[in-house]
Amino acid sequence: MEELYQCINFLLTVSQHAVFQNLHERLDRFGITPGQYAVLYCLWNKGEITPKEISQAVFLEMSTVSGVLDRMQKKGLIQRVVDPNDRRSVRVAATAEGMALQEGVMRAVEEMNQDVLRDFTPEETQLLRRCLARIGNVSALTSEA
């Protein structure tokens, strides 16, 4: 078992599952999933954007994003808007219902972060985030000092 516990994939998978479950439980009261949170976060911060821009921002395949958007649209959290200048282009926007979730969801995410990182020093937290960003090739975080 020692070799398994030294495997980076195993450690990341177990860790990711624990964090995902923690976040899933916190977001359940808002009726959204962690993936839907990621989409809403993009919309809260960027406004109306394309599915491709969402896909790039959250590091998911377009087919995955399309499925997430379909479910969110059925829940009334987002709307797809045809670009009047290019009818082939669709943009995604948060509805009033989706916007109304922002404060509570962001508080739940912050609580999850605090819970998961409670045993880490601030320096360890910063190092962990930088290391995970480097592994995931998330350049916005790896460029920070």
The pLDDT tens digits for 75-116 are 999 999 997 888 888 999 999 999 999 999 999 999 999 999
Q: Looking at the structure, do residues 8 and 49 belong to the same domain, yes or no?
A: no
Indicate the average pLDDT of the chain.
Answer: 93
130-139 mean pLDDT? 91
List C-alpha distances in Å: 85 to 81, 91, 94, 132.
Answer: 12, 12, 20, 40
Cβ–Cβ under 8 Å, residues 125 and 108: no
pLDDT computed for residue 141 by the predictor? 54
**Structural domain range at position 54:** 31-98
Sign of the dihedral through C-alpha 133, 137, 140, 145: positive
Q: What is the domain count for the chain? A: 2
AA identity, residue 104: G
CA–CA gap between residue 80 and residue 94 (Å, rounded)? 9
Q: Looking at the structure, do residues 1 and 42 belong to the same domain, yes or no?
A: no
pLDDT computed for residue 145 by the predictor? 41
Q: What is the DSSP letter of 80?
A: E
53 pLDDT higher than 60: yes
Of 4, 23, 3, 14, nearest in space to 107 by CA: 23
CA–CA gap between residue 72 and residue 36 (Å, rounded)? 7
Q: Looking at the structure, do residues 37 and 11 belong to the same domain, yes or no?
A: no
pLDDT computed for residue 62 by the predictor? 94
What is the pLDDT confidence band of residue 140, given thresholds at 50, 70 and 90? low
CA–CA gap between residue 115 and residue 125 (Å, rounded)? 12
pTM above threshold 0.85: yes
- CATH number of the structural domain spanning residue 74: 1.10.10.10
7 pLDDT higher than 90: yes
